Every structure is written in structure tokens, then in C-alpha cells.
């Protein structure tokens, strides 16, 4: 049986074949059922917000008939951008698993670090770097072998422990 990240990678490959940046996402229920799967569809939909994660989250919520996905996990081939990270929080995803890190556009382990912000009221468990080599190879191929930004570590790493969220410190960063 295909793993959730296999399905997300298949969606990313299908997106590339359509001329979209190759990113794929899957929403799984707690019992391992695929609730929704999607690839990036920015060009096809003429919608700059049609990222794979957002489309999969919306489809999953529609399938469920409710806006919250508290018992669901999101698998995506690339570190989510700040928009998608915020949506992941709004949909109350239990666990986020992503493939390649994105130092330039990511909003989880880079940049805005959305889940660490005091304004973030639901923080999923996060695991990054799962099937990272395959996910970044897809992006590299798509962008014509331009080097995709290299990533820390190289192995899957847990970014925050289960069930924790950082407490607001009340102090401005940087
Ligand atoms: Zn996004």
C-alpha cells in the first residue's frame, strides 16, 4: 500500500506534468484513510493561493462537512509557506509531515515560523525532512537543475514535541 508521502509525491509529479510547481499534499484521517489529495494548481486555476495544501485541506473539510480536521494529518512534499501554515493551524491539523525544507519560501522552520507566533492558537506536531531527497529532486528537475536550497540535517527531524506549543514571551523578536 502506498504511504501518505508516496501519494503526495505522486501528486507533485502530476503537478509538474501539468506545468505546475511540483508540490503535492494529502490529508489522512487518524485511521489511515485518505480524505483528500491534491497537487499545486496555481496555473490551472489562475489562483495564486491554489497551493496543494490549501486545496487538500479545503477538499478534506468539504468531505467531512465541517471546518475542523483535528484528528487528521497533512502530508506535503515541501515545507508549507506562511499562508498554508496558517491554514493548517485554522483547520486544526493534528500533525504536519513535510518533505523538502524551503529556506526561501517556507513558513514553518523558516521565515515567519507561523506556529511559533503568539497569534498562532493551534500548533500541530511537525515532522520535516521525510522523503526529502525525492521531494527536492522533483523541484530541482522542474526548475531546470537550478540548485534548490540545501537543507539542514538531511534526515527527518521532529521540529516540536507532540502536544506542545511555545508560550508567548511578550517580547519582540529581532
Ligand atoms: Zn502554500
In eight-state DSSP terms, residue 69 is -
3-class DSSP state of 15: helix
Q: What is the 145 CA–ligand 1 centroid distance (Å)?
A: 22
Q: What is the pLDDT of residue 173?
A: 43
3-class DSSP state of 29: strand
Number of H helices, E strands in the chain: 5, 6
Q: What is the 54 CA–ligand 1 centroid distance (Å)?
A: 7
Nine-digit cell at 58? Answer: 479545503
Q: What is the 60 CA–ligand 1 centroid distance (Å)?
A: 16
Q: What is the 59 CA–ligand 1 centroid distance (Å)?
A: 15
- CA dist 121 and 113 (Å) reads 13
- Which of the residues are catalytic? 53
Q: What is the 86 CA–ligand 1 centroid distance (Å)?
A: 9
Q: What is the 171 CA–ligand 1 centroid distance (Å)?
A: 28
Over its length of 174 residues, how does the chain's per-residue pLDDT go in tens digits?
A: 789 999 999 999 999 999 999 999 999 999 999 999 999 999 999 999 999 999 999 999 999 999 999 999 999 999 999 999 999 999 999 999 999 999 999 999 999 999 999 999 999 999 999 999 999 999 999 998 555 555 544 557 677 655 444 444 444 444
Nine-digit cell at 96? Answer: 504536519
What's the predicted TM-score (pTM) here? 0.84
Amino acid at each position: 500500500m502506498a504511504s501518505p508521502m508516496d501519494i503526495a509525491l505522486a501528486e507533485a509529479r502530476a503537478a509538474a506534468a501539468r506545468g505546475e510547481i511540483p508540490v503535492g499534499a494529502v490529508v489522512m484521517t487518524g485511521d489511515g484513510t485518505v480524505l483528500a489529495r491534491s497537487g499545486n494548481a496555481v496555473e490551472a486555476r489562475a489562483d495564486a493561493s491554489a497551493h496543494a495544501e490549501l486545496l487538500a485541506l479545503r477538499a478534506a473539510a468539504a468531505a467531512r462537512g465541517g471546518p475542523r480536521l483535528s484528528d487528521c494529518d497533512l502530508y506535503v512534499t515541501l515545507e508549507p509557506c506562511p499562508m498554508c501554515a496558517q491554514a493548517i493551524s485554522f483547520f486544526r491539523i493534528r500533525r504536519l509531515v513535510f518533505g523538502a525544507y524551503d529556506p526561501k519560501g517556507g513558513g514553518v522552520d523558516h521565515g515567519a515560523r507561523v506556529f511559533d507566533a503568539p497569534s498562532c492558537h493551534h500548533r500541530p506536531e511537525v515532522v520535516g525532512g521525510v522523503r526529502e531527497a525525492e521531494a527536492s529532486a522533483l523541484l530541482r528537475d522542474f526548475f531546470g537543475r537550478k540548485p534548490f536550497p540545501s537543507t539542514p540535517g538531511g534526515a527527518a527531524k521532529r521540529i516540536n514535541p507532540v502536544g506542545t506549543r511555545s508560550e508567548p514571551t511578550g517580547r519582540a523578536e529581532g
